[in-house]
Amino acid sequence: MRKIIPLILLVLLFSFALSAQTNERGIASWYDSDPKGPLTANGEKFDPDKLTAAHKSLTFGTLVRVHNLENNKSVDVTINDRGPFVEGRIIDLTVQGAKELGIYEKGIALVELEILSQPQYPISNYNRLGDTGWYKIQIGSFGNYDSVQNLYAKLIKENLFAESELTENNLIRLTIRWIEENKMEEILKTLNTLGIKEPLIKGDVNPLTVD
């Protein structure tokens, strides 16, 4: 028991500290858009009827519980946009979110944000370098099928997710997909040992969103 009690206290203190770090207080507001539905900052079509929200820095895909400190109502929203860019405001809700939180008529309220879950990598519909935290490396385009087949086999042997596709010029393009950012340096070293010196690095989609 003497060894267990301090450990339990340590866990509780850590949980409390984590909660203090992730909870944020400030003003919530709501925003709308024209009927055409422009894209949000992560590439999704804006929908005023969905429970999504804009935050200045939280990772796209973060699930946040917004507590209205004025009426004790709460609503869970997913971060998919950036804002609000007004001093003192910490989150912008959709019309639906504002209604469920009871701030649609008033427009703003003092709230506290509680992070329920946060993805390791941003959930984004964009395919630009760094947007999602996932990368792909284009090895090159080849005209010799045997060369591609041999290189493909070597990549698979290194446990890399290799893909090949036929280009408009009837060349075979070889690509490695779904590379995590923290593994990029290691993979580049592996490719260097295979004689691939300057591969082309591009952003990739999140594999969890691929149908």
Closest CA to 49 of 69, 35, 62, 60: 35
Domain total of the chain? 2
Closest CA to 206 of 138, 137, 133, 130: 133
**Are residues 89 and 18 located together in one domain of the fold?**
yes
Q: Is residue 183 predicted with pLDDT exceeding 60?
A: yes
User: Which one of 91, 117, 143 terminates a domain?
Assistant: 117
169: CATH: 3.30.70
pLDDT of 15 reads 42
Helix, strand or coil, per DSSP, at residue 185:
helix
User: Which one of 85, 117, 149 terminates a domain?
Assistant: 117
127, part of any domain: no
Closest CA to 105 of 29, 34, 51: 29
Closest CA to 106 of 156, 144, 62, 68: 68
- Give me the mean pLDDT over the 150-172 stretch: 91
pLDDT of 62 reads 94
Instruction: Please give the residue range of the domain that contains residue 26.
Output: 4-117
**Are residues 103 and 205 located together in one domain of the fold?**
no
25, part of any domain: yes
User: Which one of 61, 88, 117 terminates a domain?
Assistant: 117
Tens digits of per-residue pLDDT, 184-197? 899 999 999 999 98
Tens digits of per-residue pLDDT, 2-15? 344 444 444 444 44
Global pTM reads 0.59
